[in-house]
């Protein structure tokens, strides 16, 4: 039987309407698509199959993450578990890119510039945040709220956003800023960590990944 103490599961929200239309989303608040809803259900079912019983739940204040969290907890029979939602976990602010699709953005700013804004650690899109700036709010929240809960023996679920989670992975997995542009987390994909004695988090040997969802690519 698995010991689920001192563990953290990171889950990206299910597919949103902006994901479907290939739009930069950022601080916009699109709803989940029907596929995104099913992805969230599938992730919850898979976490239940693995035996998880979470003691703590964290997410942003954005609807797509809140809805994904709600669905996952329902699948786990944990709908009464308190959820701490905080803007520190919101998606990266894409500024003037928000609401544009990738083709529109490339036509306006150039393909290379858009690639740099999307993937690099320090580049700041007009009126928005770099990935480094996102990390500067996400990581302190982790150290203040999430790490103590895990250290005390808890099992924490964090439902987040692609870039906010990427900013966490740089610390958790020791990813160099030059390599972060190659890292991508799919919708409803989950990653499982266990806290070591020194307080660091390491990927576990438990199954992790994207749960099968109807119609998923």
90 is in an annotated binding site: no
Spatial CA neighbour of 46 closest among 159, 212, 200, 216: 212
Q: Taking CA 136 as the corner, what is the angle to CA 132 and CA 139, rounded to the nearest 5 degrees? A: 115
- Rg of the chain over Cα atoms, rounded to whole angstroms, equals 17
102 is in an annotated binding site: yes
18 is in an annotated binding site: yes
13 is in an annotated binding site: yes
| Whether the Cβ atoms of residue 47 and residue 147 lie closer than 8 Å to each other | no
91 is in an annotated binding site: yes
118 is in an annotated binding site: no
14 is in an annotated binding site: yes
Collect all residues with Cβ–Cβ distance below 8 Å to 14 and sequence separation of at least 6.
32, 33, 35, 36, 37, 38, 39, 40, 43, 64, 67, 68, 71, 187, 188
Active site residue 91: yes
46 is in an annotated binding site: no
Catalytic residue among 38, 39, 46, 91: 91
93 is in an annotated binding site: yes
Catalytic residues: 13, 91
Binding site, residues? 12-19, 25-26, 64, 91-94, 102, 162-163
Annotated binding site for substrate: 12-19, 25-26, 64, 91-94, 102, 162-163
């Amino acid at each position: 039987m698995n010991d689920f103490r001192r563990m953290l599961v990171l889950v990206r929200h299910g597919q949103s309407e902006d994901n479907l239309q290939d739009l930069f989303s950022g601080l916009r608040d699109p709803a989940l698509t029907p596929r995104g809803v099913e992805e969230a259900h599938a992730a919850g079912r898979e976490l239940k199959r693995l035996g998880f019983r979470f003691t703590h739940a964290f997410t942003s204040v954005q609807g797509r993450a809140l809805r994904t969290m709600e669905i996952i907890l329902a699948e786990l029979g944990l709908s009464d578990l308190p959820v701490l939602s905080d803007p520190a976990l919101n998606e990266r602010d894409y500024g003037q890119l928000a609401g544009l699709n990738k083709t529109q953005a490339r036509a306006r700013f150039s393909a290379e510039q858009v690639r740099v804004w999307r993937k690099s650690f320090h580049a700041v899109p007009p009126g928005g945040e770099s990935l480094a700036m996102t990390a500067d709010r996400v990581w302190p929240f982790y150290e203040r709220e999430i790490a103590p809960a895990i250290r005390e023996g808890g099992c924490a679920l964090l439902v987040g956003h692609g870039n906010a989670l990427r900013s966490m992975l740089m610390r958790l997995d020791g990813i160099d800023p030059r390599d972060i542009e190659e890292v991508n987390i799919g919708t409803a994909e989950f990653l499982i960590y266990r806290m070591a004695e020194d307080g660091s988090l390491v990927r576990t040997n438990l199954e992790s990944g994207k749960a099968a969802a109807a119609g998923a690519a």
